[in-house]
Amino acid sequence: MPSKSAPVAGQSALAALKKSSSKTSLNGKPTQVKTVGVLTSGGDCSGLNATLRGVVKTLINDYGVKVIGYRDGFRGMIENDYQQLTLTHVSGILSIGGTILGTSNKANPFRQYQPKTGEFKDVSKKVVADAKKLGIDALIAIGGDGTMSMAARFTEMGLPTVGIPKTIDNDLMATDLTFGFYTAVEIVKESIDRINTTAMSHHRVMVIEVMGRYAGWIALYGGVAGGADVILIPEIPYSIDAVAEACARRNKEGKGFTIIVIAEGAKPIGGDITVQKIVKDSFDQVRLGGVGMQLQAELEKKLGRIEVRVTVLGHLQRGGTPTAFDRILSTRFGAYAAGMVMRGEFAMMAALRGSEIVSVPISDVAGKNKFVSPDHELIRAAKSLGTSFGEPKR
């Protein structure tokens, strides 16, 4: 639900923040929060440290609250591995990628893999009990849809939790954007710029495989920003004949090269996604990858003497310093989530709606994904510029 604490005209930003962060819960009673736990879970991305900085500084500066950071996401909760976070710990980390706490995309208190038996075990009750022994009154979980699912369940078990959306894939429901996304898009754009000169020099078709799992946001935005000639996303199954035709047409027009951006979850019409491997001890067991190589092999059969090369950007999209946009969004999310805890807005997630940060029910997010509409405005614009999305002619 939207926050009711937006600043009125003439109010200073500081006064607005103080007002929005008064120590009252949703029912108007004072909160009793003295210690807050925080963790970063799932894949890393740029902006995590900026978010932690926003959380920790706001909780300490505005409320005098003690902050406990769990190491390596939910693994830290499972193994009771933590540290107290002070202002010193989060000083100077705004521009640093990754997370000072570490993260894990395998730890899951509700379904934790047991190496000795090869089975999964629910250790969530012990996790909640250990947190209460530490004196933790509330938890801030920074992560994607899987993390939000766990956050909702912890609140039901008596460990009040607030969520902050994080993923380079931008596939979380209920928020317009997630931090880390635009940094990943910037990396894709820069990579296309660099590959472009090689493609022109050697008259090649260059295939660039990008992340995104089952959603095509990175491929779409990165491809448009880099001026890709063909963009292939999971939401629009492609025809290999249509892609080959787009490459051949550019050659006939004297362009002499083609840039193709393909999302790791893209698939041909009537085909399926390309799975690189299965990671049994992860709560997201499917690892996508290899679709670029598959496309290369199919295109070379169709294009004859035209050379096709593949570049897989992989984890380059996750690392490095965050863009100014992601630093600002992360800071806003962190400060706002701290206020949510003190207002007692539990089982809720901070979200970006338009230009405002609001709180939304985690149930609107948990276990769900946001996909690109085939009729998305940016797709329509790209098509007007001549970009192919691998769709066959009708």
- Residues of the chain with pLDDT below 50 are 1-30
How much is the pLDDT for 302?
93
Position 221 scores a pLDDT of 98
What is the C-alpha separation between 382 and 125, in angstroms, rounded? 50
Q: How much is the pLDDT for 177?
A: 97
Q: What is the pLDDT of residue 116?
A: 84
Q: What is the pLDDT of residue 287?
A: 65
pLDDT of residue 32: 84
Question: Do 166 and 64 form a contact (C-beta atoms < 8 A)?
Answer: no
Architecture of domain 13-179+322-354: 3-Layer(aba) Sandwich (3.40)
Cα gap 176→165, rounded to integer Å: 10
Which residue from 232, 236, 293 is spatially nearest to 261, judged by alpha carbons? 232
User: For the chain, what are the domain ranges?
Assistant: 13-179+322-354, 181-315+373-384
Of 72, 169, 171, 229, catalytic? 169
Residue 234's Cα: distance from chain center in Å? Answer: 17
Q: Look at residue 20 and give its three-state secondary structure.
A: helix
What is the predicted pLDDT for the residue at 118?
A: 80
Task: Indicate if the alpha-carbon torsion angle 190, 195, 198, 202 is positive or negative.
Answer: negative
pLDDT tens-place string over residues 43-73: 899 999 999 999 999 999 999 999 999 999 9
| Superfamily of 181-315+373-384 according to CATH | Phosphofructokinase domain (3.40.50.460)
Dist CA 221 CA 168 (whole Å): 12
191 contacts: CB under 8 Å, gap ≥ 6: 208, 226, 311, 313, 316
pLDDT, residue 296, reads 95
- pLDDT computed for residue 304 by the predictor: 85
241 labelled catalytic = no
pTM higher than 0.95:
no
DSSP state string for 65-102: -EEEEETTTHHHHHTT-EEEE-TTTTTT-TT--S-TT-
Q: What is the pLDDT of residues 85-124, one digit of tens each?
A: 999 999 999 999 999 999 988 899 998 888 888 888 999 9
Helix (H) or strand (E) holding 107, with range, is none
Residues 347-373 have pLDDT tens digits of 999 999 999 999 999 989 988 899 999
